[in-house]
Amino acid sequence: MIDLEHRLLKRWTAAAFLKTGVVLMAAGLLPILLYAKFGPPEGNPTGLALLMAVLVPVGFLLAGIGLLKWLFARLRKLQ
């Protein structure tokens, strides 16, 4: 497992992590926001809430990894 994580961190750039995180967060938030805006008032969007509860933290994690990779690369260039 460690080898897989190491290869993933080496292969993906900071921008790729950041973009993937933002896309996952949008994919988790957009359906429930659209349902709240256009869905029936007596509806029960439990599945959409579960989708949001899973995708948004994963998106934040990937975006955080991307920001840390970018920050460490910038700090390494300054030295």
Q: What is the rounded distance in angstroms from the CA atom of residue 2 to the CA atom of residue 5?
A: 5
Note whether 55 and 28 are within 8 A (CB): yes
Query: Greater confidence, 33 or 3?
Result: 33
pLDDT band at 12 (very low <50, low <70, confident <90, very high): confident
The residue-averaged pLDDT of 58-77 equals 94
Task: Give the per-residue pLDDT at 10.
Answer: 78
Instruction: Give residue 53's identity as a one-letter amino acid code.
Output: A
Whole-model pTM over 0.85: no
pLDDT of residue 9: 73
Indicate the SS3 state at residue 41.
coil
Mean pLDDT of the chain: 91
Domain boundaries, the chain: 2-78
